[in-house]
Amino acid sequence: MAAIREHVGDASEADAEEMSEVFYGRGVIISAMLAEAIRVAQDMHGRADIGPSEVRDGLANLDFTSERIEELGLAGMMPPFTTTCDDHTGHSGAWMIEWDGERFVKASDLLSPDRAAIEPLEAEKAAEYAEANAPWPINEDC
């Protein structure tokens, strides 16, 4: 966020109060994920000129390590996670945040989903959706 403040906020391109809002932070994280997916896709395919299917490949191969998050200036904004062809979310968890009168602060430890309870429901509902919307394209490479 420091670089964004320097190049955007301090350059009077964004409202300082708006930059402290949770939605601004979400936008930064989403933008970083997309930029990283493009970088990964370019590396995977060995070229700068990529299209939608290559970006999809990048999104399915994200690896946000603690080191990479730090390098991008996003430390404390997101936990480490990876995505794969069959797991697009990474299931890294999240924090509860609250407004302290000046800024948003973490109000909890990292909260993680109960995958054992969720995965059977996901599989059931995905199968129902696929059957109701057949024919459903299948990525044979996954």
Assess whether the previous peptide bond of 135 is cis (omega < 30° from 0): yes
- Position 69 scores a pLDDT of 94
The pLDDT of residue 11? 54
Residue pair 113/101 in contact by the 8 Å Cβ criterion: no
CA distance linking residue 44 with residue 58, whole number of Å: 8
pLDDT for 9 equals: 54
Tens digit of each residue's pLDDT (9 = 90 or more) over 26-65: 889 999 999 999 999 999 999 999 999 999 999 999 999 9
- Residue 14: the pLDDT is 63
pLDDT score of 18? 73
Domain definitions of the chain by residue range: 2-112
User: Rounded to whole angstroms, how far apart are CA atoms 12 and 14?
Assistant: 6
Question: pTM to 2 decimals?
Answer: 0.73
More confident residue, 45 or 10: 45
Whether 7 has a pLDDT exceeding 70, the answer reads no
Coil/strand/helix, residue 26? helix
Q: Which residues contact 27 (CB under 8 A, 6 or more apart)?
A: none
Note the pLDDT of residue 104.
75
Give per-residue pLDDT as tens, 77-130: 889 999 998 887 777 888 888 878 777 788 999 998 898 999 999 999 989 998
Report the alpha-carbon distance of residue 23 to residue 21 in Å, rounded.
5
